[in-house]
Copies of this chain bind each other. A is one copy, B any other.
């Protein structure tokens, strides 16, 4: 058994601060909860776990023996705490009893230079953390591991986003704060074509033939894509439907377009 100490008050305070984006950026760590995310983290080569906090009444639920030697656990500290303290540091209505921190998985913008993937995703001011997380999860499912985020997006390290990624967050390459100007420059330099997605009026995703290098742009739930970006785009893509309802959910629309890219990539093989 690994030595488990009581969570010190100063550490509780630190964990509570990580609920806010500004402290996640300052300290370079974010909070994850639950055994499923924990297992995903341990399977990802690039993850570094900081603190692990276990609800003392549920300590027996979690078997931490055998993971001590893992690379991801090199800097890990294990603590126990009361149910009451757990409910204060947790962001979950019903805390799963296992909470841990990970070193930020956001790439710096120098990562842009290393990108070699044919298809990239650009998300413009997506505001719902659940939508953002589901889009990240779906992108990884379809083999699209690079996501660029505009300023004013939901934080990919927000606990709701992290939960919705179902572990995909640990394997994705995410770069934040990419303005539409930086995107356009990058696309021009690296010969990516920009495809905007619109609720209606574009080429139907079902019959779209994506170019060999392409950045797919998805816009905010409420405001859609930045008009500048629509203008810079060389093609518009939409998901056709019966029109009996106003629009598709953004993550569903993203999934349908990503599935097309995946299908197209498979056909080309």
Give the interface of A toward B (CB within 8 A).
Answer: 40, 130, 134, 137-138, 140-143, 145, 164, 166-168, 171, 205-206, 239-242, 244-249, 251-256, 259, 262-263, 266
Contacts of A255 in B (CB 8 A): 248-249, 252-253, 255-256
Q: Given B137, B164, B259, which contacts A239 in the complex, CB threshold below 8 Å?
A: B259
Shortest distance in angstroms between A132's beta carbon and chain B's nearest beta carbon?
12
Contacts of A241 in B (CB 8 A): 141-143, 262
Contact call A166/B246, Cβ cutoff below 8 A: yes
Give the top 8 A-B pairs by smallest Cβ distance, nearest first: A143-B242, A252-B255, A141-B241, A140-B245, A168-B245, A206-B263, A134-B249, A256-B259
Contacts of A138 in B (CB 8 A): 248-249, 252
> In the bound complex, what is the Cα–Cα distance between A205 and B262 (angstroms)?
12
Shortest distance in angstroms between A47's beta carbon and chain B's nearest beta carbon?
15
> In the bound complex, what is the Cα–Cα distance between A138 and B239 (angstroms)?
11
Contacts A256-B255, A256-B259, A262-B241 given: A248-B137 contact, CB under 8 Å? yes
The A interface, classified by DSSP as helix, strand, loop or mixed, is helix
Contact call B166/A245, Cβ cutoff below 8 A: yes
* Residue in A130, A140, A252 whose Cβ sees the most chain B Cβ within 10 Å: A252
Contacts of A171 in B (CB 8 A): 244-245
> In the bound complex, what is the Cα–Cα distance between A146 and B245 (angstroms)?
14
> In the bound complex, what is the Cα–Cα distance between A16 and B266 (angstroms)?
53
Q: Chain B: which residue is nearest A143 at the CB level? A: B242
Contacts of A142 in B (CB 8 A): 241-242
Shortest distance in angstroms between A221's beta carbon and chain B's nearest beta carbon?
10
Shortest distance in angstroms between A135's beta carbon and chain B's nearest beta carbon?
9
